[in-house]
Structure 1
Amino acid sequence: MVNSAARKLDKELIEIVEVPKDDINWSSVSLSDVLNRGKRLEASRFNIEKIRYEEILKSNKYPLITLLNEEYVVDCYNGSRTKREYISPNNKNAVMFLGGSEILDVYPKTEKYLDYTNSKYESYKVKKNDILLTCSGTLGKISLVSDSIKNSLISQHVIKIRLKELQGYLYAFLKTDLAQCLIKSNKYGSLVSHIEPEHLKEILIPNPPIAIKKKIHDLVMESYSSRDESNKLIDEATKIMIDELELPSIEDLMKEAFSYSKDINSFSTKLSDLDGRLEGSYHIPLIDVIEKHVSKHANLRYLDDKALVKDIILPGRFTRIYVTKEHGVPFIGGKDLFQLKSETGKYLSKKAHKNRLEKELLIKENSIILPSRGTLGSVMMAMPHQIGKYAISDNLIQMQCEKDYVGYIYIFLNSIYGEKLIYRQKYGGVVNAIEPIQLKKVSVPFLKDVKKIELINNLAFKANELRYQAYKQEQEAINIMNKEVLGL
């Protein structure tokens, strides 16, 4: 009865109220449209951009199939909700547990580990080349299960899509603006947005000849292969450094640091060593133990050494003026820093922030960037495609290093030992923070063998070049999808 009433209303002449088109984005919706879209009344279900993209798909030169077509898709699921029991990374069954933000990083890492053999985590398991799509909070972010995370467990807040073949083709489609708009139009929830695997069934995807699909697929697979190779080089450089320094594991160093304190983690410090800091975390014995061990095989140098670091910049706070992509510079924060291509959707005005961009915001060559607020200790070496083209927020510190040492410094600071030395400098009660003046007090052990320093530095540069190569391969795949398949 309701459907017949809707059809009748569609045929009737209804007076249209004039809406000021220049001030707001708007569109009219028929009652039958509301019914056909699951009786959903959220404006996002009927947004203008979505309607435009649906028209583009309808007029596509290739036949359309459903995104979860059974001919290609084996499974699509997001895992069950269950209480997690975290374990030590040293446990023989321990594997990384990754959430929606970690899967996007070029080198995913976490401090959370679960027992891979526990049957209640079965729905968290993935296989190599599964497509991952964030489905809670920040929606529609895409990643692929590569060698770096194939043995990990992935959160229920991530949809896993398993295909028989040509995973790279679907991956590239999901990365397009068209697919992102269609995915997000299905969101529900007021405080936290969500989508479900069943919502993907509504999305259509062009089905071009196999040659085009394979070309796109191969580029995506090559991109993830380059990322894996990059991560292996970083691991290799880190191992060389740790072996040369003859550093014990961080767990063994912790035991040594607190070997005199059996009942409670307590320690004393001299008045002369206070350095104006009264926080217990600043004086933890672990730092002294790390520096004692590395001093046996290396010379300690600090980040205030101008021969190593030219400048350390923390941008000042300012009123941000955002503009469209064509007139702005991509603007990234701490959460986006570790991704191959940060897609925040925020662009700073080139005109309004011209001076500030040149002096302190644009990413510069031979830089190491790290968060100055929130989760501290992680670092990222500036990638070639970011230099001069991306701007950092006032929650990131940029450290401009000498070219001969930037890779070496990055490898040490990126290690668990470097992370501890950075974290030691933090201050703040509710939100942890670090300033350039504190970062300058972080020490870096420089090996006495100059050739080893050069080798580690070169490995870091090769790893960074592979990340740039991975970026170009992925962008080429998405460009082919947009131009040759979608006709955008």
Structure 2
Amino acid sequence: MVNSAAIHLQKAEVEVVEVTKEELNWSTVSLSDVINKGKRLEASVFDVESKHARELVRNSKYGYAEINLSDDIIECYTRPRFKRIWLEKSEYPIYQPTSMLDVYPTNDGYISRLTNTDIDALRVHKGQVLVTCSGTIGNVSFVSDTLDKKIFSHDLLRIRFKKEADNGFFYTFLRTDIGKSILKSNKYGSVISHIEAEHINEVIMPTPPIFLKQKIHDLIVKSYENRDYSNHLIDEATKLLVDELELPSIEEMQEEAFSYSKEINYFRIKLSELNGRLEGSYHVPIVDVIEKYLSKNAILVRLDDESLTKKIILAGVFKRNYVQKGHGYPFIGGKEITQLGPETDKYLSKITHKDRYEKELRVEKNWILVTDRGTIGKVVLVPEQMNGFAVSQNVLKVVPNSNHGYIYCFLNSDYGKKLIEREIYGSVVNMIDDKSLGNIKIPILKDEDKVSIINDLVIKANDLRYEAYKKEQKAIDIMNKEVLGI
């Protein structure tokens, strides 16, 4: 068979196309480079982008140096793999690496203390730089009060430099395209990409004077302090709302909802209460218990009531026409909306998608976003830096008339999320839509002053996140212009 295939190829007419070097991403590699890279032959190790990035660093105004694990760094490590023992609730909430990018991270579940690993060694600590080292390589975060002592999975690089200013400087360097490109060039793996702690040794960084490093580091620290304070204000607003409504915990409500049924969870529904829904998940008793407590000290108003919202937008499914950066609308999905400054390499054509963008995709500051597919019920109050972004059809857009912060505060609470979960439908792919989201009842406190206080706390938190974004962008701008010279 091999011989016959060879004969066939010899007889076949082969068209030779001349392609100039300008039309290709190409690079030459010396044998010494191959040996120095551990005799690795993957093109990604020697790709043009990373080679260009290294040249920019080498030619930068202040020179450069390779990071030395023994001389420059106190700690740089991951943790061994382990099998998780999941519990519904425990004192050990665990976070996945993707959560570290969120302004207010939420845990992905709870593990048992019997899990066969050193749980305390999984905790991250204030001042560390975190880098994703598996799957999506090079996402970076800085540990402040929000993440301090949180438990993260094993596949995350924890890094701390000996000189404090180097931590914020390194973080900012990896937030640039140049730094990320250099880091990614050290990845390996044919199916899932990885980097290890020793690969940090191969990262080169510019070496500006200490005052510039300190300036960049201080901006990053202040940016994360603003994020921490914004999260504190959200917590304060939520606590005030819960206290005013006099709400028991969700666990206590759960016990009350099923208190009459010890051996099996069952409940009865009147025909008049079916609301066209036959799923058991829609009629769970805890919803009635939540609404009972909400109505004690507040007036319940449907989210789609004209007194609360102008409209709830459900975008249609559409074929996307992407264009280059600068020529289209920046386009993000439900995964990115929880980040401080969503990054995207997707831009929708302004010619093809102008009408849809204006009617269904564009978002404005202080609108409320709710994910409606996949992970349902993520709630975001649109900050200034997301104003004008195009957001995918997998996210519902709520346009409130007023009290944007107050409505967000309730929907983002444990009680609001339970009411959102109740509306989920679908046999294969779970989802909610604009009508089901509009069914949710919002408790409007009878004390209007308390409503204003809660609303103002959330709006202030959102403004702080914009300040945090501006500080980080300023640090990146200094890195690009004053340090790298690009």
TM-score of the pair, normalised by structure 1 = 0.92
Work out whether residues 330 and 348 of structure 1, in 8 Å CA contact, stay in contact via their aligned partners in 2: yes
Counterpart amino acid of residue 477 in structure 1: A
Counterpart in 2 of 1:337? 337
Shift of 1:233: 0.2
- Residue 459 in 1 paired to residue 485 in 2? no
Counterpart amino acid of residue 313 in structure 1: I
Counterpart in 2 of 1:135? 133
Please state whether the residue corresponding to 1:101 is helix, strand or coil.
helix
Shift of 1:117: 10
Shift of 1:102: 0.7
Counterpart in 1 of 2:4? none
Please state whether the residue corresponding to 2:301 is helix, strand or coil.
strand
Work out whether residues 331 and 390 of structure 2, in 8 Å CA contact, stay in contact via their aligned partners in 1: yes
Work out whether residues 373 and 432 of structure 1, in 8 Å CA contact, stay in contact via their aligned partners in 2: yes
Counterpart amino acid of residue 431 in structure 2: A
- Residue 101 in 1 paired to residue 98 in 2? yes
Please state whether the residue corresponding to 2:86 is helix, strand or coil.
coil
Shift of 1:383: 0.4
Equivalence map 1:207-218=2 (5 Å):
207-218=207-218
Does the C-alpha gap of structure 1 residues 355 and 228 become closer, same or farther in structure 2, counting only changes over 3 Å?
same
Counterpart CA distance in 2 for 1:480 and 1:356 is 37
Please state whether the residue corresponding to 2:178 is helix, strand or coil.
helix
Structure 1: stretches of 5+ with no match in the other structure: 1-16
Counterpart amino acid of residue 279 in structure 1: E
Deviations 1:403-454 (A, max 9, x none): x311000000000000000110011123210110111101110000000001
Does the C-alpha gap of structure 1 residues 68 and 352 become closer, same or farther in structure 2, counting only changes over 3 Å?
farther
Equivalence map 1:429-440=2 (5 Å):
429-440=427-438
Does the C-alpha gap of structure 1 residues 271 and 183 become closer, same or farther in structure 2, counting only changes over 3 Å?
same
Counterpart CA distance in 2 for 1:445 and 1:353 is 38
Counterpart in 2 of 1:446? 444
Shift of 1:194: 1.6
Deviations 1:246-267 (A, max 9, x none): 0000000000000011001111
Counterpart CA distance in 2 for 1:65 and 1:88 is 48
Work out whether residues 257 and 286 of structure 2, in 8 Å CA contact, stay in contact via their aligned partners in 1: yes
Equivalence map 1:50-65=2 (5 Å):
50-65=50-65
Does the C-alpha gap of structure 1 residues 419 and 25 become closer, same or farther in structure 2, counting only changes over 3 Å?
same
Counterpart CA distance in 2 for 1:117 and 1:226 is 37
Shift of 1:274: 1.0
Equivalence map 1:338-353=2 (5 Å):
338-353=338-353
Shift of 1:191: 2.6
Counterpart CA distance in 2 for 1:296 and 1:261 is 25
Comparing 405-414 with 345-354, greater Cα deviation is found at 345-354
Counterpart amino acid of residue 103 in structure 1: M
Counterpart in 2 of 1:204? 204
Counterpart amino acid of residue 305 in structure 2: D
Does the C-alpha gap of structure 1 residues 68 and 300 become closer, same or farther in structure 2, counting only changes over 3 Å?
farther
Counterpart in 1 of 2:393? 394
Counterpart CA distance in 1 for 2:126 and 2:94 is 16
Comparing 116-125 with 370-379, greater Cα deviation is found at 116-125
Work out whether residues 329 and 350 of structure 2, in 8 Å CA contact, stay in contact via their aligned partners in 1: yes
Work out whether residues 140 and 174 of structure 2, in 8 Å CA contact, stay in contact via their aligned partners in 1: yes
- Residue 305 in 1 paired to residue 305 in 2? yes
Deviations 1:222-255 (A, max 9, x none): 0000000000000000000000000000000000
Please state whether the residue corresponding to 2:485 is helix, strand or coil.
coil
Deviations 1:317-371 (A, max 9, x none): 1111222222222211111110001123222223332222222112123310011
Counterpart in 2 of 1:253? 253
Counterpart in 2 of 1:470? 468
Counterpart in 1 of 2:80? 80
Counterpart in 1 of 2:483? 485
Equivalence map 1:59-458=2 (5 Å):
59-87=59-87, 89=89, 91=90, 94-114=91-111, 120-164=118-162, 165-166=164-165, 167-388=167-388, 390-402=389-401, 404-458=402-456
Counterpart amino acid of residue 445 in structure 1: P
Does the C-alpha gap of structure 1 residues 483 and 69 become closer, same or farther in structure 2, counting only changes over 3 Å?
farther
Counterpart CA distance in 2 for 1:458 and 1:178 is 40
Shift of 1:111: 4.1
Work out whether residues 365 and 400 of structure 1, in 8 Å CA contact, stay in contact via their aligned partners in 2: no
TM-score of the pair, normalised by structure 2 = 0.92
What is the percent sequence identity of the aligned residues?
A: 51
Shift of 1:55: 1.1
Deviations 1:382-404 (A, max 9, x none): 0011111x1101111111112x3
- Residue 33 in 1 paired to residue 30 in 2? no
Work out whether residues 82 and 120 of structure 1, in 8 Å CA contact, stay in contact via their aligned partners in 2: no
Please state whether the residue corresponding to 2:403 is helix, strand or coil.
helix
